[in-house]
Amino acid sequence: MEIAELQKAVPFELPEEYIELLRYCNGGYGELNAPPELLQLDSIAESVDQNMTWHNEEQFTDFWFIGGNGGVETIGFDLRGGQPWPLVMIDCIAGDTSAEQIAVDMADFITKIGIEAEHPEE
């Protein structure tokens, strides 16, 4: 039921991989092998609430957020181009110009979940 409501709320077609992830875990926390290195995946309700707030305030209307790191970095779909939607990390204080691509699409993003970030030897 919640997934159907989410699909009605989003201004684009959700990737099937994201829907399957939500069916598996409707929210969660863990390592991420991409910036910001931690993932706090939003539940469906949190995602809808957060995005509706941003969109109603006419901020970040070219993105659909799915989580973050529990701090200022937020992770979401970049809707400025075409499908497949890349995943980006955004510092919401710095604004949308801080968007940094962290995965080419949802399938790529999923491969990074639960894996500790790699740090080259300094």
Q: What is the pLDDT of residues 28-44, one digit of tens each?
A: 999 999 999 999 999 99
Contact present, 102 and 110 (Cβ < 8 Å): no
Which domains can be identified in the chain, with CATH numbers?
2-110 (3.40.1580.10)
What pLDDT, on the 0 to 100 scale, is given for residue 11? Answer: 83
* pLDDT higher than threshold 60 for residue 122: no
Q: Tokens 């790529």 identify what position? A: 108
pTM: 0.91
* Cα dihedral sign, 91-93-99-100: negative
What pLDDT, on the 0 to 100 scale, is given for residue 118? Answer: 80
Model confidence band, residue 117 (pLDDT cutoffs 50, 70, 90) = confident
Q: Tokens 């995946």 identify what position? A: 41
Name the DSSP class of 112.
T
Q: What is the pLDDT of residues 67-108, one digit of tens each?
A: 999 999 999 999 999 899 999 999 999 999 999 999 999 999
